[in-house]
Amino acid sequence: MKQKEQITALLHTLDTYYPKDIVCYLNHKTTFELLVATILSAQCTDDRVNMVTPSLFEQFPTPMHFANASLVEVEEAIRSTGFYKNKAKNIIACSKRLVEVYGGEVPSDIDELTTLPGVGRKTANVIRGNIFHIPSIVVDTHVKRISIRWGLTLYEDPVQIEKDLMTKLPKEHWIRYNTQVIAHGRAICTARQPKCVNCMFLAFCPFGLTHLVTKLPNEAQEALEKGHMY
């Protein structure tokens, strides 16, 4: 199968099995809340972040509140998300820049977003796609892992992966590609024990085919009988 045909099949299958309008997994009410939640999500599960943010935003509801907060206060409020010292430092510095430079508003321009402490391209693209509906590709751990497994990129670096996906995926799929792939990564294409035999993408997944044939020959035969493989 040529890669163009593979991509068409992948995207069609994503739309078939995962809703096009999957909402962001990080709970938020404002653009600023999503920005902070995304910073907190580094090396932390979305579920854990969603447990922390309700009380966090009750205590610090605006950029001004964070800008005026003590480092210790913020550290204690976000401790359970891991790497809390660095995250607290970045959130306070980010909030100060938002207040001083942008009047407390989160910008939509990627170059401006990435000047904010703690905000890289991943976080910037989460904001641009989910809030401003600007076509953007978010490369998180699921997108990185699965895009490599699907053969859509040979890179490990998220910026290079983003560039590869931008050249290969139609722009209208960019925003939902992330949320759909996260859903697939959680349900089937997990990091340690992917459920390849039950995967709807198996017919056009180089990793899955190799994984089954070389490591799980009995499961490969079962997949053949189910019609998952060509």
Q: Which residue has the tokens 């809390």?
A: 84
Task: Using alpha carbons, list the distances in angstroms from residue 137 to 51, 154, 164.
Answer: 26, 17, 10
What is the gyration radius of the CA atoms in the chain, in angstroms? Answer: 20
24 marked as part of a ligand binding site: no
For residue 126, give every residue at least 6 positions away whose Cβ sits within 8 Å of its Cβ, in sequence order, or none: 24, 26, 34, 38, 136, 138
Burial level of 155, CB count in 10 A (0-12/13-18/19+)?
A: middle
Q: Which residues are catalytic?
A: 122, 140
189 marked as part of a ligand binding site: yes
| Whether 200 contacts 187, CB under 8 Å | no
Binding residues: 189, 196, 199, 205
Binding residues for [4Fe-4S] cluster: 189, 196, 199, 205
